[in-house]
């Protein structure tokens, strides 16, 4: 009887320990770099995280796949509005189809410009909205 009780108690302890395991850990999210950023990554990162990644990757261009950004909306635009006046240097973005690679000092962007570029993309439903965010994109301000 005592052995059965100990085995039952041990079973409860082991069952409790097994429920703590949460499964495999999520893969780390990379920051924008010289590799193509996909639409799936844009969705996973969100526009503010993308903006912060562009800031940390200054000042080389970041190639981003043209993506229908219907998964972003007014809430993301409201968050991005906080950054539109930020003059901190940032990486510009460009499409894989762009003839302009957006590299070098003349293409350096700012956090504010990239925030406006993201806002424009959300409003139009496509991001990036131009071939190079610092070369052929004019904002009506």
Q: Where are the alpha helices (H) located in the chain, listed in sequence order?
A: 2-18, 39-45, 47-56, 74-80, 111-124
Which residues are CB-neighbours of 91 under 8 A, at least 6 positions away?
Answer: 32, 54, 55, 57, 58, 59, 60, 61, 62, 109, 114
- What residues does each domain of the chain span? 36-124
Q: Are 85 and 54 in contact (CB under 8 A)?
A: no
What tens digit of pLDDT does each residue of 83-121 get?
A: 999 999 999 999 988 877 788 888 899 999 999 999 999
What tens digit of pLDDT does each residue of 61-71 get?
A: 899 999 999 99
């Amino acid at each position: 009887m005592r052995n059965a009780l100990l085995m039952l108690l041990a079973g409860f302890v082991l069952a409790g320990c097994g429920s703590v395991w949460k499964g495999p850990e999520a893969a780390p999210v990379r920051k924008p770099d010289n590799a193509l950023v996909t639409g799936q990554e844009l969705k996973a990162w969100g526009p503010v995280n993308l903006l912060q990644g562009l800031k940390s990757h200054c000042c080389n261009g970041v190639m981003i796949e043209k993506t229908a950004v219907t998964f972003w909306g007014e809430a993301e635009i409201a968050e991005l509005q906080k950054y539109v006046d930020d003059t901190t240097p940032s990486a510009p973005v460009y499409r894989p189809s762009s003839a302009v690679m957006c590299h070098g000092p003349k293409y350096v962007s700012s956090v504010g410009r990239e925030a406006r570029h993201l806002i424009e993309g959300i409003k139009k439903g496509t991001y990036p909205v131009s071939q190079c965010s610092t070369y052929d994109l004019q904002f009506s301000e």
